[in-house]
Amino acid sequence: METPSAYHDPLDPTKLGNFTNRLNVPARDGLLGFLDASAGPIELVTQKERMHLAPGKETEVLVYRAERDGTVWFNPTLLVKTGDTFSASLNNGLDEETTIHWHGLHLDWRMDGHPLRAVRPGTSYRYAYPVANRGGTYWYHTHGHGNTARQVYMGLAGLFIVEDDDERRLNRALGVELGETDLPLVIQDKNFDEKGDLVYAPDEMAQSMGHTGNAILVNMTPNPYLEAQTRLYRLRLLNGSNARLYRLAFTKLDGGGLLPCRLIATDGSLLDRPRPVREIFLSPGERTDLLLDLRDFEVGEEIALKNLAFDPMHREHAMEEGLGHGSHASHGGVGRAEEMRQATRQLGDGEEFYVLRIRVKDRAAHGASVPEILSTVPPADTHGAAVRTMTLSAATEAGQTRWLINGLTYEPDKYPIVVQEGTTEAWEIRNENRSMPHPMHLHGFRFRVLERRNSPSQVAEKAVDEEGRTATDLGWKDTVLVWPGETVRTAIRFSHDFGGEQLYLFHCHILEHEDAGMMINYKVVDPAKCRA
């Protein structure tokens, strides 16, 4: 038997020396390649595909395949402009039901990939809608009923980049170009077997906490590195993991603290102005755009995008166990993560590891400056808003933890929440103390974060205003992380012109939680029609 010190796992992301795979940077075709969807309808076929993700191994993944004039894409990065009509047909080539959900997009519910609109094997569905959103980094993924976690994990997800005037102006000022110096970074964690295939076999623990993997992938490349120039980069980060929460920061490899960055966008838009940050929490489903300035670096220097250690705050058993892992976690996750790691050689929640290694390779003349004003983000208008409380809690049945929203588990044909079209509501998302962090996501509409109350110290120390908001809470959001004991107050304006009653979802974006029913239907009704 190998001793732990002799053991070498080539995918172990805690070892910098393992970061030897060239990052897949989206190009004009292939995996995550750019596909201009403003040029007319596209077709996406869900199918199995064998790919080289890790060197020397072939991995079977599920993909959305697109083809146009002989060019082939897998999980294309779709490019659209605000005001375009987007049109894509999904042809389901799998032997299971699936859908496409356009995460963050404001659209008619029939186009939203709702599990009620599942696409059966061998059939197709046409998604067509005007792109009403502001410019930003959105994404799409499967939303098959009770099967989202496995399907996303096996590969069914891609980016959806919306461009508008603000975006064009900014990228011109920054002198960055999509695919060159404006880089999407889709961060995911997965488990591989020796043959190179993906393993999705959550045990009871992973079912209730969410499935985390021991390998970290960026743009589907495990242990990636990137060769860079001495210039400014725009990085579009998406946490596309099933359940893993990241605390991300850039550091210089030869020591020194965290590098300063500028946060310019969150889920659904540019911020009004850049915010200086050194680290951010990024939960499943969330996006953040950062500017990384490498102009003062020397050729040969190296930088890493890292996950810093944090307290994962798994407090679901805190009450029952007393001195169980819940109370350990509250004294810092590092100890617990290290314990877990030693016991099972698992990459713990909240453990420190590398995500991407960056080598400065060339000098580049680059004189661009970062604009002081990026966009207009009007203050949230909560005048006359009705308050609705959404309580997140845990229930233990036969030793298994179930996650509930307002005490309920998802039922496809129940609509516990009915909102009036055209009104604004303030949703207070309250996470109980005996809980874990839940990234809560709203379909159909964007929202604003008004306030964070009762935040744990690792969150409170990142507050940028009196409301306790962090930089990643600013702007237009569709997913917000709510920590144990915290209350996050949001404002949502439910106006649309889709016609008819709308059925959407509000759910936890830990995909195992979503599949297990930590999800709730809500209906948007027209008050005039209700009276009739």
Is residue 224 within the footprint of ligand C2O (CB under 6 A)? no
Residue 143 interacts with, from ligand C2O, Cu ion, none (CB under 5-8 Å by kind): ligand C2O
For the CB of residue 496, give the shortest distance to ligand C2O in the complex, in Å: 17
Distant-in-sequence, close-in-space partners of 398: CB < 8 Å, separation ≥ 6: none
Residues 75-104 that bind ligand C2O (CB under 6 A): 101, 103
Is residue 489 within the footprint of ligand C2O (CB under 6 A)? no
* The one segment of 5-13, 177-185, 215-223, 505-513 that binds ligand C2O by CB under 6 A: 505-513
Residue 507 interacts with, from Cu ion, ligand C2O, none (CB under 5-8 Å by kind): ligand C2O
The number of residues making up the chain comes to 532
Shortest CA distance to 209 belongs to which of 306, 312, 328? 312
For Cu ion, the binding residue among 190, 211, 438, 446 (CB under 5 A) is: 438
* The one segment of 170-178, 246-254, 374-382, 438-446 that binds Cu ion by CB under 5 A: 438-446
Is residue 517 within the footprint of ligand C2O (CB under 6 A)? no
Strand residues in 75-214 grouped as ranges (E):
77-81, 85-92, 101-103, 124-130, 136-141, 157-163, 182-190
Is residue 505 within the footprint of ligand C2O (CB under 6 A)? yes
Distant-in-sequence, close-in-space partners of 128: CB < 8 Å, separation ≥ 6: 41, 85, 86, 87, 88, 111
- In terms of CB distance, is 101 or 275 closer to Cu ion? 101
The CA distances from residue 57 to 186, 194, 330, in Å, are 21, 9, 40
Is residue 114 within the footprint of ligand C2O (CB under 6 A)? no
Strand, helix or coil for residue 512: helix
Is residue 285 within the footprint of ligand C2O (CB under 6 A)? yes
Q: How big is the site for Cu ion, counted in residues (CB under 5 A)? A: 6
Shortest CA distance to 268 belongs to which of 461, 444, 459? 444
For residues 9 and 22, give the distance between their C-alpha atoms in angstroms, rounded to a whole number.
18
For residues 152 and 216, give the distance between their C-alpha atoms in angstroms, rounded to a whole number.
15
For ligand C2O, the binding residue among 150, 234, 357, 443 (CB under 6 A) is: 443
- In terms of CB distance, is 103 or 336 closer to Cu ion? 103
For residues 193 and 196, give the distance between their C-alpha atoms in angstroms, rounded to a whole number.
5
Is residue 513 within the footprint of ligand C2O (CB under 6 A)? no
Site string for Cu ion, 457-496 (x = CB under 5 A): ----------------------------------------
Shortest CA distance to 102 belongs to which of 125, 123, 120, 122? 125
Is residue 144 within the footprint of ligand C2O (CB under 6 A)? no
- Phi and psi at 452, nearest 5°, equal -115, 130
Residue 505 interacts with, from ligand C2O, Cu ion, none (CB under 5-8 Å by kind): ligand C2O
For the CB of residue 157, give the shortest distance to ligand C2O in the complex, in Å: 9
Residue 285 interacts with, from Cu ion, ligand C2O, none (CB under 5-8 Å by kind): ligand C2O
For residues 314 and 356, give the distance between their C-alpha atoms in angstroms, rounded to a whole number.
27
Tokens 């306790």 sit on residue? 468
Residue 263 interacts with, from Cu ion, ligand C2O, none (CB under 5-8 Å by kind): none
Strand residues in 168-207 grouped as ranges (E):
182-190
Q: 30-31 and 71-74 as β-strands: parallel, antiparallel, unpaired?
A: parallel
Residue 106 interacts with, from Cu ion, ligand C2O, none (CB under 5-8 Å by kind): none
Is residue 430 within the footprint of ligand C2O (CB under 6 A)? no
Is residue 106 within the footprint of ligand C2O (CB under 6 A)? no
Interacting residues with Cu ion (CB under 5 A): 103, 438, 443, 508, 510, 513
